[in-house]
Amino acid sequence: MPVSFRRLRIAGFKSFAEPANVEILPGLTGIVGPNGCGKSNVVEALRWAMGENSARSLRGGEMEDVIFAGTSARPSRTLAEVIVFLEDTQGAAPPPFDQEPELQISRQIERGSGSTFRVNGREVRARDVHTLYADLASGARTSAMVSQGQVGSLVAARPEDRRAVLEEAAGITGLYARRHEAELKLRAAEANLARAEDLRGQLEVQLGALKRQVRQASRYRNMSAAIRAAEAESLAIQRACVEAAGAAAKAALDAARHAVGLATEVASAAASHASAAAEALPPLRETEALSRTVLERCRVAQEQIAGEEARAQAALTDATRRLEQLRQDLLHAEQLRRDAAAAQERLTAEDASLAGADSGYPPILAAAKAEAAAASEAAREAEAVSHRATEAAAEANARTQAAAQLLLQAEQRARRLREQSVSLAQDRAEAAEQEVPAEHLLQAEQDLAQAQAAAAAARTALEQADHDRLACAETLRAARQAESAANSALTKLTAEAEALAEVLAVKDDERWPPMVDALAAPEGLEAALGAALGEELTSALDPEAARHWRELPPFEDIPSLPDGAVALDSLVQGPPALARALSQIGLTDDFAGSALQPGLAAGQMLVSPAGAVWRWDGYTIRPGTPTQAALRLRQRNRLAALRAEMAEAEQAATAATAARQCAEELAQEAELADRRARAERQEAEQRVETSHGMLASLRSKADAAAARLLALDQQIEHQSAECAEAEAALIHAEEANAALPDVNSLRGAVEKARAALAAARTRDTTARAALDTLAREHAARTARRQRIASEQTDWAQRACDSMDRVTDLAARVDAAEAEHVALAAAPAETAARRVEAVGALRQAEAAHQQAADALAAASATASDAEKAARSDQAELATARENAVRAEGVAAQAENAYAAVVQRILERLGPEPKLPDPPAELSAEAEEKARRRFERLLKEREEMGPVNLRADIEAEAMAKQIEGITAERDEIVTAIAKLRGSIGHLNREGRERLNAVFQQVDRHFQALFTRMFGGGRAHLALVGSDDPLEAGLEIYAQPPGKKLATLSLLSGGEQALTALSLIFAVFRCNPAPVCVLDEVDAPLDDANVERFCSLCEDVVRETQTRFLVVTHHPLTMARMDRLYGVTMQERGVSRLLSVDLQRATEMAEPQRLAAE
C-alpha cells in the first residue's frame, strides 16, 4: 500500500496559539474562511514541517517569526511545533525507520535555540527529512504544494526550471540529493588524497634530512669529547698565567704607594702660598664693587631724564593734534546747521505743490469709473455671441470628423483583412511543406534502438574495466606497502651502519689507528677482551707512536693456565704483538674465576664473558663493569653484522621496487582501459541521447505541423466571414459621410464674433488701466505728503542738535589751546637736567676704572700661585692614579685567577684533573691552546643545531609514511567507488527521466483536451540533448486559437494549462498529499467545474489526498469535507470541521420524508 498522510497537528505556529488537528482523509478536504483568519497558515505549517528554511517564503523576517507572537489578551509562546503523521511507511523510510508502520515527523523551534527535526521522537538531520519527503514525491517546494503564485511561477519559469516537474514525476529528486552528497564526498576524498600525497612527499623529504641528522649526531658526540680535552688543556695554561700575573701586579702596587707619599708633601707647600695670595683679594673687590654701584646709579639717572624729555615732547605733539581735530569738528557742526535750514525750506515748497495737484482729482475719477463700466458690459455681450457661434461650429465639425473616422476605420479593416487572407494562404502552403515524412520517423526510431544496444554493451564493458582497475589498484597498494617496508628496513640499517662507521672511523688528528681495530673478537667475548686489556687496546701498532705495542718473540717456557681456563690466543685472532698477552689470559666462567685465581702464575689473568677479571696479584674486577674497549669491539661486530643484513635488505628492496613498478604498469594499463571504456560508454550514451532527441524533435515537428495546418484552416474560414462583414461596413460608412452638412458658413460666423469680442475686450482693458493709473497717482501723492511731514520734523531736530554741538566744540577748543601753551615750556627744563647728569656719569666712570686696575693686579698674583698649586696637585693626583691603577691591576689579577678557577669548576667539576702546563709559560702557548679549543668549538658550532634524537625520529617517521601510504590507497579505492556511484545515479536518472517524459506528455495532452473541452497541447525537451540538463517547454493550442508557447496564452488559459501539467505529474508519480491554495481564483464557473471533476478523477486514480484552500462556492460544494478557519478571538485562529458527505447522507431521509 502507498504511504498516506493521515493527520497534521499544529501547536504555537503563527496564529494557532492552541493545538489544532487537521485530519487529512481520503478524497477532497477543503479549507475555507474569511481573508486574514489563518487559512494560509495551515498550508505554511505543512510546508514548514517538510523542511522549508526560507523565512521570507513563510511571510516572516526571520524563522522565529513563525512562533505565536501573542495578542493583547494572550502572552507570546516560546516554541512552535508541527507534527505530520504518516501511515503505511514500512519499507519507504530510510534505516532505522524502514520497518516502522507509522511515522511521526515533527519540527520544533524554540526562541534563541533554532529548530530541530524528530522522527518517532528521535532527533534527525534536516537533510534526512528532505530526502525522506523527496522519495515520497513530496516536499516544501515540490509541485504537490500548489498556490496561485506558484502557478504563475510555473508559467513564468524558464524551461530549465520547469524540468523539476519532470524530475518529481520520475521520482529522482531524492537521487539528486544523493548525487549531491556523493559529489561532496568525492570532492572531500580528492582533497584528502591531495593532502595525503603532499604530506607523504613532505615526510619523505624530512626522512632524508633525518638520515643526515643521524650521521651528524654521531660526529657531534665524538667532537664533544675532543672539545672537553682541549678545554682542560687551555684552562690549565690560563690558571698558570694568571698566577704569574698576580705576583707581578703586587710588586707594582708597592712602588706606586711610595710615589704617592712624596707628591703629597710638595702639594701641601704650594697650597699654603696660594692661600696667602687669595686672602688679599676681598678688600679690593669691595672697593671695585662700590665704584661700579655709583657708576650704575649715574647711568640710571641719565636714562630717566632722557625718558622724561621724550615724554614731554610726545605730550606736546599730542596736544597739538587734538587742538587741530577740535577745530575741524567745529567747522563741520556749523555746516550741518546750515544744511538743516535749507532742507526745511525745500520740503515746505514741495508740500504746497502736492496739495494743489489733489484739488482736481474727484471729477476725473468719476468720469474714468463710468467709462470702465460701459466697456465691461459691451465685452460680456460680445463674449456671449462668440460662444454661441463656436458651439454650433464645433458640433458640426465633430459630426464630420466622426463620420470620416468611421469611413477610415472601415477602409483600413477591409484592407487589413484582405492582406491577412493572403498571408494565411501563404502560411497554409508553408505549413504543408513542413510536414515530416513517415519514413524519417521510422529511420529515427531504428537509429535510437541501435544506439541503445551499443550503450548497453558499452556499460557492460565499463563494469568489467572498472572491476579490473580496482583489482590492479589493490595489487599496487600491496606492492607499495611491501616496497615501503623494505625501504624503511634498509634505511634503518643504513643509518645505524653509517653512524657506527663514523664512530669507529679514525679522526683526522689521530695519526695511528688503535690496536682494537686489528682484533677479530668473536661475538660474546667483547667484554672479556675489554676488561683484560682495557685502555691498552687504544695504543697503536706503529713503533713511531708514543704508546704502541712492540712485537716480541714467543715465550720459550710458557707457564700453563689453571685447569678449566682457555687461553684467548686460541679464541681471538689478533696481530703478533698481542701473542704474548693473549697466551697468558684465560677465559673461564663467573663462578670458577675466584677459585682459580690463587693458582695463577706471575703475569697471568683470568677473564669471564661478562667482563670479570682475576689477576695473578689479586686485582679483581666484578662482572658487568663497562669499558670503552669492550664497547668499541661490540660496535665493530655490530657493524659487520649490519653490513650483511644490509646486503639482504638491498636485495629485498630491489625486488619490492621491481614488483611495485610492475604493479604500477598494470594499474596504468587498467586505468587507461577504464578511461577508454568510460569514453566509449559516454559516447554511446551521447548517441542514445542524440537519437532520442532527434526522434523527439521529429515527433514534435510532426505534431506542430499538423496542429498548425488545422489552426490555419480554421483561421482561413473565420477570416472569410470577417472580410464580408468589413465590406458591408465600408459601404454604410460612405453613405453616412455623404449626408453630412457643410461647415464653412458656420466657421465665417465664428470669425466675425471673435473679432467683435476682441475689440470689446480691448476697450474694457484700456478703461480699467486708466482708472488704475488715477488711483495709483492719488495714493502716491498722499504718501509723499506724509513722508514730507516726517522729514520736516527730523530736520528741525537736526538743526537743534547741530546748534548744541557748535557751542560744546567752541568750549573744548578754548581748553585745548590753554593746555598746549602749558606743555610748550617742559622740553627746555628737561634738557638742562640732562647736561648735569652727563657730568656726574663721567666722574663715576673714572673712579671705577682705578679700582678695577688694582683688583686685576692682585688677581694675577693669586692666579699664578693657584696654577703652581694645581700643578703640584695634578702630580699628586697622577701618583694616586698610578697607585689606584696598580691596585686595579692587582685586583684584576685576583679576579682573573678567581674567574679561571670558577670556570674550571663549572666546566670540569669540583676536583678536575688538569694536564700539567708547559715549562715556559707564554702568551703564544696560551693562544695556541685557546685557538685549538676555539677551532674545535667553532667546528662543532658550524655543524649548527644537531638533533640527538634523529635515529628515534627517523624510525617513527618511516612508520608514519607507511600509515599515510596505506591511507592513500584506501582513499583511491573510495574515490573509484564514489565515481562509480555518481555515474550509476546519472544513468538511473536519465533512464527514469526519459521513461517518464512520454508518460507525462501523454497524460498532459489528454488532461489539456479535457480541461479546455478541445484543443491540443504537448511537451518538448529543449536546450540540450542531455535530459538532465534540457529544459521543458509547453506548447498549447486552445480551441479556436493557433499553437503557441505557454507564455503567449491568456491568464486563465495559463492557469488551466499549468494545472493540467501538475495533474499529469500526479498520474505518473502520485504524491501522498497535494495542497491547492486558491488556484481556482482566476477560473470562471465552467472551468471551476472541470477543475473539480479533474481533482475527483485524480483522487480515484492515484489515491492522492487533497487539501484545497478556496473561496469559490462551487469548489466548496464539491469537497468531501470542510475545515473552517475562524478568528473569533482577535489574533487567534481556530478550526471547525464539517463532513459534507455524511451531512448529505443524514439530510437525504429528511428530504424524502418531507416530500
Alpha carbon separation from 515 to 356, 519, 911 (Å, rounded) = 159, 7, 31
Asked whether residue 382 is domain-assigned, the answer is no
Whether 1099 is in a domain gets the answer: no
What residues contact residue 654 under an 8 Å CB cut-off, 6+ apart? none
Q: Which of left, alpha, beta for 611 (phi over 0: left; psi -120 to 50: alpha)?
A: left
Q: Which of 789, 780, 774, 775 is nearest to 350 (CA)?
A: 789
- Provide the CATH number for the domain around residue 466: 1.10.287.620
DSSP label at residue 801: H
- 499 is a domain residue: no
C-alpha pair distances (Å), 746 with each of 394, 402, 738, 1096: 9, 18, 19, 72
pLDDT of 743 reads 61
- Read off the C-alpha cell for 879: 701618583
What's the rounded Cα separation, in Å, for the pair 447 and 698?
13
Q: Is the dihedral of CA 709, 714, 717, 718 positive or negative?
A: negative
Sheet holding 566-567, edge to edge: 566-567, 585-587, 605-607, 613-615, 620-621
| H helix runs in 50-144, sequence order | 126-135
Query: Domain boundary at 664, 683, 706, which?
Result: 706
Contact criterion met (CB below 8 Å) for 998 and 166: no
Do residues 316 and 824 make contact, with C-beta atoms less than 8 angstroms apart?
yes
In 490-542, which ranges are E strands?
none
The Cα–Cα gap between 1059 and 1012 comes to 12
As a whole number of angstroms, the distance between CA 643 and CA 1125 comes to 94
Distance CA 5, CA 1104 (A): 9
> Do 673 and 599 reside in the same domain of the chain?
no
| Other Cβ atoms closer than 10 A to 85 | 18
C-alpha cell at 920: 715556559
Domain contains 167: no
pLDDT for res 31: 92
Whether the bond between 96 and the residue before it is cis, its omega within 30 degrees of 0, is yes
Using CB atoms within 10 Å of the CB of residue 1036, give its burial: 0 to 12 exposed, 13 to 18 middle, 19+ buried: buried
Angle formed at CA 580 by CA 576 and CA 586, multiple of 5 degrees? 120
Maximum Cα interatomic distance, the chain, rounded to a whole number of Å: 188
What is the total count of domains within the chain?
2
Side chain identity at residue 388, one-letter code? R
Pairing relationship of beta strands 1016-1022 and 620-621 according to DSSP bridges: unpaired
Distances in Å between the Cα of 930 and the Cα atoms of 49, 50, 900 are 87, 87, 13
Among 1015, 376, 306, which Cα is nearest to 710's? 1015
Question: What sign does the dihedral 835-840-843-848 (CA atoms) show?
Answer: negative
User: Which of 508, 502, 495, 496 is CA-nearest to residue 221?
Assistant: 502
Distances (CA, A) of 781 to 45, 343, 679, 768, 777: 88, 19, 112, 21, 6
Start-to-end Cα distance in the chain: 44
Can you give the pLDDT at residue 1018? Answer: 86
Residue ranges making up the domain that contains 655: 438-486+649-706
Does the residue 574 lie in any domain? Answer: yes
Statement to judge: residues 481 and 531 lie in one domain = no
Residue 544 shares a structural domain with residue 479? no
Q: Do 809 and 330 contact (CB within 8 A), yes or no?
A: yes
- Residue 308, CA distances (Å) to 85, 290, 295, 301, 321 in order: 119, 28, 21, 11, 20
DSSP 927-960: HHHHHHHHHHHHHHHHT-S--TTHHHHHHHHHHH
Beta-strand ranges (E) seen in 14-92 are 20-23, 28-32, 79-87
Q: Is residue 547 part of a domain?
A: yes
Same domain, 480 and 529: no
CB 302 within 8 A of CB 833: no
On whether the CB atoms of residues 985 and 996 are closer than 8 A, the answer is no
For the record, the C-alpha cell of 810 comes out as 567752541
Check: CB of residue 1119 under 8 Å from CB of residue 29.
yes
Domain termination site, one of 548, 576, 608:
608
**Domain edge (last residue) among 662, 683, 706:** 706
One-letter amino acid for residue 219 of the chain: R
| Dihedral angle computed from the Cα positions of residues 347, 350, 356 and 357, in that order, rounded to the nearest 10 degrees | -130
Q: Around 244, how many Cα atoms within 13 Å sit in the side-chain half-sphere? A: 12
Quick one: pLDDT at residue 509? 43
- The answer as to whether 570 is a domain residue is yes
CB proximity list for 63: less than 8 A, separation 6 or greater = 53, 55, 109, 114, 115
d(C-alpha 252, C-alpha 891), whole Å: 12
For 736, the grid coordinates are 453616412
As averages over each run of 10 residues, the pLDDT of the chain (1155 residues) reads 83 90 90 88 90 84 88 88 89 80 91 89 88 80 74 76 73 67 80 81 78 75 73 72 75 75 73 71 75 77 75 77 77 77 76 70 73 77 75 69 72 75 75 72 79 82 81 82 80 72 54 63 69 67 68 73 76 73 78 76 81 80 66 67 80 85 84 83 78 72 69 71 75 70 67 76 77 75 78 78 77 76 70 73 76 75 74 76 78 76 71 66 71 76 76 80 81 80 75 80 84 83 76 84 80 80 78 87 83 86 88 89 88 80 60 54
Question: In the 3-class helix/strand/coil scheme, how is 456-494 assigned residue by residue?
Answer: HHHHHHHHHHHHHHHHHHHHHHHHHHHHHHHHHHHHHHH
Cα dihedral value 693, 699, 705, 709, nearest 10: -160
Alpha helices in 740-825 (DSSP H): 744-823
- Nearest one of 1080, 1075, 1129 to 1107, comparing CA atoms: 1075
Give 954: exposed, middle or buried? Use CB within 10 Å, 0-12, 13-18, 19+. buried
| pLDDT at residue 107, rounded to an integer | 94
CA atoms within 13 A on the CB side of 625: 15
**Residues present in the chain in total:** 1155
Do 669 and 599 have their domain in common? no
Residue whose grid cell is 669540583: 910
Which DSSP symbol is given to 51?
A: T
- Burial (CB < 10 A; 0-12, 13-18, 19+), residue 109, is buried
Would you say residue 807 lies in a domain?
Answer: no
Chain centre to alpha carbon of residue 1151: 75
Distance CA 1007, CA 2 (A): 24
